[in-house]
Amino acid sequence: MSIHPTAVIAEGARIPSSCIIGPYCTIGPEVELGEDCKLISHVVIDGRTRIGARNTFYPFGSIGMAPQDLKYAGEPTITEIGNENTIRECVTISRGTTGGGGVTRVGSGNLLMAYVHIGHDSQVGSHSILANNATLAGHVVIEDHVTLGAFCPVHQHCVVGAYSFIGGGTIVTQDVLPFSLTSSKRENRAFGINKIGLERRGFSAQRLRELQKAYRLLLTAKLNTTQALEKMRALSGDDVALLVKFIEGSKRGVIK
């Protein structure tokens, strides 16, 4: 095991011999790391934190610390992180609260750029990119394959749908539609499907055509949401069905 002599590892921490712990890192007694994790330097990991394999933590990250919630009174809540994430400088990930389910969770294969904040009880899926200073309030859900632009704050209890792209500086106060390209000019708006991103993810031309038909009904056909959903249900494809289900289940309303 490669542990720099300036690192502070509490008794009880579980660290495989394949991990690299750099200078001035601090690891708490209830932390469990997976194989081949690398803490470059000055990383703090505390609380009941479970981390998978092959994650890289850049300097000054703060992982699994107490949530920024005045109601929190030291309850033994959890932080869970999957495999092969890149967590860049000054990222903060707060552990959960009992009122929010008790777990803050990050999936696998994500890139969290510098100064990203993941608030308590948030659930981040896999294969997403959160750009610099993206900020998740508590209880946010980020589904898989999302790109969240720089300086984007996301309001509590919002859901950001799978395969969506949110432009930098967008203030997200309602749910973001799956597959959408959503951005802020004078107001937040969905501008149709995230066509380039979906092509890069291997979506076929047929899948894109079906999604475009659905988005035309939803955004440009001068129908209200209920009327648009009625017509969208007649379209084919699992992607459209997922989109319909997402809208029907939204509690905060969706950005159109």
Q: In whole angstroms, what is the distance from residue 143 CA to residue 157 CA?
A: 13
The answer to whether residue 120 is catalytic is yes
Determine the angle formed by the axes of helices 205-219 and 225-232, rounding to 10 degrees: 150
How many whole angstroms separate alpha carbon 127 and alpha carbon 107? 8
Tokens at 61, concatenated: 């990250």
Residue from 28, 52, 107, 138 carrying the catalytic annotation: 138
Q: Which of 121, 144, 175, 239 is catalytic?
A: 121
Phi then psi dihedrals of residue 246, to 5 deg: -60, -45
CA–CA separation, 127 and 178 (whole Å) = 15
Catalytic residue check, 121: yes
| Closest by Cα among 247, 208, 212, 243 to 226 | 247
Check 120, 125, 149, 239 and give the catalytic one: 120
CA distance to 80, 129, 217, 239, per residue, from 211 (Å): 33, 22, 10, 7
Please give the biggest Cα pair distance in the chain: 66
Among 110, 101, 42, 114, CA closest to 81? 110
- 3-state SS of 65-91 is ECCCCCCCCCCCCEEEECCCCEECCCC
- Is 138 in the active site? yes
Element (H, E) at 68: none
**Cα 171 from Cα 187, distance rounded (Å):** 9
Catalytic residues: 120-121, 138
